[in-house]
């Protein structure tokens, strides 16, 4: 039986406390009135961006230039209707920046919450595939997968709470939830049959209930198989996994449309569901590898050998290539066609998010390719760990790139709210996962493929 070390538990709790304090500060530090933003923008314009660390972080060059141009226009125009129009434009822009800065801590929480939620969901899909394919190499890793999927319930409830708070208009993350915006936007009005708050929350509840029911049933059958004298529960798991994968691929695609793509309600991509799936799938497999290597280093999982690590690293390598294929297919086809309502999605990210946009390509594709291409390196634990950390950081930035441009715009910066959110949810994830690993033995007893898995060599 695995025992959670007091040191790891303490680190996880410290991360959660520090993260919670940082998030509270982030919400408190966000501007509460339009006047605060106008003063900040005026100071930026007057001092040429040197007002202070907070203002320089929160207000972009684009915002400063717009404010400066508006101020010059106001100074030079006569005191007629032109002056009034310029003032209205300045107020409108300040209000836009005000909403962006208010969104910043909310968006930071959303990105981190979704990132850590998608890891157990990706692991759950991988776990189901093992049963559906009747894989013989992986049963010694099943308890690790079950432990990671223990975070699915708290992670999905946190996501539902964030969606619920958005539906109650406590933030401005989803622009299509704003009645004033919808009233003046014919395109969003045309999607109102699908993009409306009640139906949105009902769909989210269906996704979450379905995923968690399957996870609990598969865990239940796995434990009962340990005590059974036949393979009846394994056969039930096989049938359940096959049915779940059909449910999963539909609900995962719809979830990606609802929870991510609808941040940009004027834009859509038919590849988006697969793109998000590839991100969560490789992140989940990477965490399986990292947790397995950690447990091996602590003297557990004695039947896991270098061939198991090699296969996990092979999946990390292969799915990273698959993710890159989907990224390139989505990006290049839209860029080449150059249709304004499609290409604006990437123009915004290249112009305002240049470093994270291209940086994640290095972390998600180039780095794993260089580190894991050699078959021998896939058996070296520290190579796998190094590649795994890069993959996880890269896919966090990928989620960041999907969410932030539509919610925060040019006012983005990886500061206290973003770091604190990662610390809080990272600490919660570690605490839940490693606590779940202590509940049952780390090696299943009666899986029909257990002997093959124990003697697996590649």
DSSP string, 321-347: HHHHHHHHHHHHHHHHHT-HHHHHHHH
CA distance 122 to 287: 10
Please give the average per-residue pLDDT across 186-202, as a whole number: 94
Burial bucket for residue 394 (CB in 10 Å: 0-12, 13-18, 19+): buried
Whether 200 contacts 167, CB under 8 Å:
yes
User: pLDDT for 3-61, tens place per residue?
Assistant: 999 999 999 999 999 999 999 999 998 887 777 777 777 776 666 544 333 433 434 43
CA distance 109 to 420: 9
CA distance 226 to 6: 29
pLDDT of residue 154: 97
CA distance 200 to 255: 10
80 φψ region: left (φ > 0), alpha (ψ -120 to 50), beta (else): beta
- The closest alpha carbon to 423, from 111, 24, 17, belongs to 17
User: pLDDT for 283-333, tens place per residue?
Assistant: 999 999 999 999 999 999 999 999 999 999 999 999 999 999 999 999 999
User: pLDDT for 322-351, tens place per residue?
Assistant: 999 999 999 999 999 888 889 999 999 999
DSSP 200: H
Give 414's contacts (C-beta < 8 A, 6+ positions apart).
400
Q: Is 444 helix (H, G, I), strand (E, B) or coil?
A: coil
**Residue 172 clears pLDDT 90, i.e. is over it:** no
Residue 181 C-alpha from the chain's centroid: 27
DSSP 424: H
- Joined together, the tokens standing for residue 138 give 């992986």
**Residue 90 clears pLDDT 90, i.e. is over it:** no
DSSP 351: H
Residue ranges per structural domain of the chain: 102-454
pLDDT of residue 64: 35
Cα dihedral across residues 91, 95, 97, 98: positive or negative:
positive
62-66, 151-155, 383-387: range with lowest mean pLDDT: 62-66
Q: Does 229 or 113 have the greater pLDDT score?
A: 113
User: pLDDT for 201-230, tens place per residue?
Assistant: 999 999 999 999 999 999 999 999 988 888
Q: Is 370 helix (H, G, I), strand (E, B) or coil?
A: helix
CA distance 361 to 379: 24
User: pLDDT for 426-444, tens place per residue?
Assistant: 999 999 999 999 999 999 9
Whether 100 contacts 352, CB under 8 Å:
no
CA distance 296 to 316: 19
Burial bucket for residue 230 (CB in 10 Å: 0-12, 13-18, 19+): exposed
User: How many of the other CB atoms lie within 10 Å of CB of 19?
Assistant: 23
């Amino acid at each position: 039986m695995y025992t959670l070390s007091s040191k790891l538990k303490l680190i996880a709790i410290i991360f959660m406390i520090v993260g919670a304090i940082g998030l509270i500060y982030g919400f408190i530090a966000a501007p509460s009135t339009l006047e605060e933003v106008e003063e900040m923008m005026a100071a930026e314009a007057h001092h040429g961006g040197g007002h202070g660390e907070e203002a320089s972080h929160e207000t972009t060059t684009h915002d400063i230039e717009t404010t400066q141009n508006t101020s010059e226009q106001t100074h030079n125009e006569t005191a007629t209707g032109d002056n009034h129009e310029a003032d209205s434009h300045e107020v409108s822009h300040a209000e836009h920046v005000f909403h962006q800065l208010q969104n910043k801590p909310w968006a930071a929480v959303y990105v981190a919450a979704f990132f850590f939620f998608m890891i157990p969901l990706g692991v759950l899909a991988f776990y189901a595939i093992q049963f559906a394919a009747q894989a013989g190499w992986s049963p010694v890793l099943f308890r690790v997968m079950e432990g990671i999927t223990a975070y699915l319930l708290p992670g999905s409830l946190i996501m539902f709470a964030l969606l619920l708070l958005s539906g109650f208009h406590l933030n401005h993350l989803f622009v299509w939830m704003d009645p004033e915006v919808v009233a003046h936007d014919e395109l969003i009005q045309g999607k109102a049959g699908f993009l409306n708050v009640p139906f949105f929350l009902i769909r989210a509840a269906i996704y979450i209930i379905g995923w968690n029911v399957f996870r609990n049933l598969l865990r239940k059958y796995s434990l009962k198989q340990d005590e059974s004298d036949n393979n009846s529960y394994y056969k039930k798991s096989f049938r359940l996994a096959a049915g779940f994968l059909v449910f999963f691929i539909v609900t995962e695609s719809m979830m990606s449309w609802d929870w991510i793509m609808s941040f940009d309600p004027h834009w859509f991509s038919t590849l988006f569901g697969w793109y998000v799936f590839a991100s969560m799938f490789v992140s989940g497999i990477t965490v399986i590898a990292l947790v397995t290597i950690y447990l091996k280093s602590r003297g557990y999982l004695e039947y896991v050998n270098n061939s198991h690590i090699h296969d996990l690293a092979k999946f990390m390598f292969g799915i990273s290539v698959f993710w890159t294929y989907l990224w390139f297919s989505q990006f290049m086809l839209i860029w080449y066609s150059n249709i304004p309502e499609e290409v604006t999605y990437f123009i915004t990210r290249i112009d305002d998010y240049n470093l994270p946009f291209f940086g994640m390509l290095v972390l998600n594709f180039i780095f794993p390719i260089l580190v894991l291409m050699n078959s021998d390196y896939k058996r070296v634990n520290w190579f796998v760990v190094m590649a795994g950390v890069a993959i996880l950081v890269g896919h966090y930035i990928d989620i960041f790139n999907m969410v932030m441009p539509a919610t925060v715009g040019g006012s983005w910066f990886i500061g206290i709210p973003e770091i604190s959110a990662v610390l809080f949810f990272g600490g919660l994830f570690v605490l839940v996962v490693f606590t779940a690993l202590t509940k049952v033995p780390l090696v299943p007893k009666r899986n029909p493929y257990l002997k093959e898995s124990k003697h697996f060599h590649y």
